[in-house]
Structure formats: C-alpha cells, structure tokens
Amino acid sequence: MQHEPGARHLMTTRRSFLRRGATIAGVLGVAAVAGTTAVVLPMRSGGADARAEQMPTGSLESEGMRWIPYLAEDFDRIAALGELLAVYPRMSEYSGMRDTSGKGLYAPDQVVSVHDSVLDFHLHSKGSQPLVATVLPAGYRSYTHQRVSIRYRADEVPGYKFVMILWPLSGDWNEGEIDWPEGDLTGDVRPVSAIPGSYDAEKEAMTFLPEDPTVVPGGQSDWHVATVEWTADAIRFYWDDELLETVTDAVPTTPMRVTLQAETIIHDDAVPTSASGHVLVDWVVAYRQGRSSS
C-alpha cells in the first residue's frame, strides 16, 4: 500500500496475502535462498554475471499494443547518501514523514544511494527508529495505461517490505493501485491490483484482485525482472517474461506514477532494530501506450 505525504495510515486487505495463493516454484524454477545483510551482487547459475542483462531500449510491441518509453533508468551515475536528487534531478522522494505502518521514518538521505550501477535502499534502524525510503524514478510524470519493468533483488530483512506501485497522480486511493512486485523481505512476492471505487471507509481498505494471487516463493533473493502491463481492458503481471496473472476487474482509468517503496511491514509485528539489508534495483523502464505500427 502506498503512503502519501499527509495521508492517513491506511491498512489494507492484503495483510494475509503472505500466507495465501498458489506457488509457481516448479514452473519457473524459483528457489528460496537465504539473504545477507551486506551488499551482494549474486551470480546466476552457470557463472554469468546476473547484472549483465542489459536494460531494454526503444519501443516495443506486446498484446497488439505499441509501447513508447518515457523512462529508461540504468543508474549509471554514482550518488552517495543524500545526493540522489542532485545527481538525478528528475526523480523525487519522500522525506521526513512516517511510512504506511507508522513504524518507519522516510529518511532517504540515510537510506538511498547509487553505486555499481544499482539503486540501493539500505534498510536499517538508527537507534530504535527503522529508516525507510520511497523513490519516484520518473518524478510525478504520469500516464493512463503503462508498461513498467524493474530488475531487482533484495536481502532477507525481517520487518521490512518492498513494492513497485502504480499510484494515482491525484493521490486518491479510491482510483486504484497496482502492486508488482510486492512482498515482505522474507522472499515471497505476489501481484495485486485494487478495484477502483472499492474503498471501504469503515474498514479503511480497498478490495484487491486476484483474491488468491500466485506467489513466487523466495523470488527476491536473486535478480529477476517484474513487469506490469496495464491496458484499457486488463492488467498483466509478468515474472522474467512469464505471464503470472491477468486481472480484468481491477483496472484503473486515471493517470498513475511509478513508485519504488521500501518500508516497514504493515503487520503489527515490531521491526527488529538489528535487522539490516539492501534492496538493489538494477534498472527500471516505463512505457506509455502508443498507436500500433500495424
């Protein structure tokens, strides 16, 4: 779930998704691997450098649609802690407020850096205060209907989570929300989208689909590519180019922006002050919908 500056801390119906849904470990060959608390750039099987896969460039065709890139960020310029917006002025970030659960503090100057061609979220506590960060890689640039891909990995960091969100430019949660990849940093990831207009004021929650999303167990421990494809009639979720889920009854109709959110879990569990680790983003590419070339 997204947290907007000045917004209430809203809890969603997705708190149980960690324990629900079918798995695809056998289909995609995903294995759970213990994370570490150090910056690690792991190798894929066969010895090839996992980060050697190049960022996509140029327009593409998918499902009869033409997609035109408006963001292609390879993180090829070094930015020390506190320097992200100076080095990448088109980006935005949250700072100085509480995260969704209320346990974490947005402190990008102590969390976010760029090195070795990766965007690094170093999640940790200062004293008893968990520090987190949210980065908008294209700033507040927004479109209705998009295709967004991210290549990333994450350490196993108890008490924290990571999600790439397509969030309404208006800030009105009732317009919907698309989350992929999403998961607590225990390894599992799953895709969901909120049904526009489904906000329940009494429960302070939206209704998300699929009801039982497919779960990729251990999916964050190695480098993977997660892709959201949002058209007028469907949202398709891909994992390493394999179609994972398709949703047709939770499709937003208003402009949304890309948001990379690393924060504390929304469960009531306390965040261990000793927990420390990294979410690394190799690249992110976002496309707006164009006319088909056919």
Is the per-residue pLDDT at 219 higher than 80?
no
Contact 192, 209 (CB under 8 A): yes
Residue 102's CB is within 10 A of a number of other CB atoms, namely 13
Residue 139's CATH number: 2.60.120.200
To which residue do tokens 């969390």 refer? Answer: 111
Contact 153, 244 (CB under 8 A): no
Enter the tokens of residue 164. 């790439």
d(CA 249, CA 57): 31
User: What is the model's pTM?
Assistant: 0.84
155 part of a folded domain: yes
- Backbone angles phi and psi of 250, in degrees to 5: -145, 60
Report which of residues 15 and 184 the model is more confident about: 184
pLDDT in tens, 52-86: 588 999 999 877 789 999 999 999 999 999 999 99
171 part of a folded domain: yes
50 part of a folded domain: no
d(CA 215, CA 25): 9
Q: How much of the chain, in percent, has pLDDT values that exceed 70?
A: 81
pLDDT in tens, 243-277: 999 999 999 999 999 999 999 999 888 999 999 99
**What pLDDT is stored for residue 130 in this prediction?**
98
Contact 255, 138 (CB under 8 A): no
To which residue do tokens 């935005």 refer? Answer: 92
Query: Per the structure, how many domains does the chain have?
Result: 1
Nearest CA to 148 among 43, 267, 286? 286
16 part of a folded domain: no
41 part of a folded domain: no
Is residue 275 within a helix (H) or strand (E), and if so which, with residue range? Answer: none
- Backbone angles phi and psi of 14, in degrees to 5: -90, 5
Contact 23, 217 (CB under 8 A): yes
The residue segments making up the domain with residue 118 are 21-33+62-290
77 part of a folded domain: yes
Enter the tokens of residue 232. 């007028």
101 part of a folded domain: yes
**What pLDDT is stored for residue 36 in this prediction?**
31
Contact 147, 286 (CB under 8 A): yes
**What pLDDT is stored for residue 4 in this prediction?**
52
- Backbone angles phi and psi of 26, in degrees to 5: -70, -30
2 part of a folded domain: no
**What pLDDT is stored for residue 293 in this prediction?**
52
**What pLDDT is stored for residue 255 in this prediction?**
98
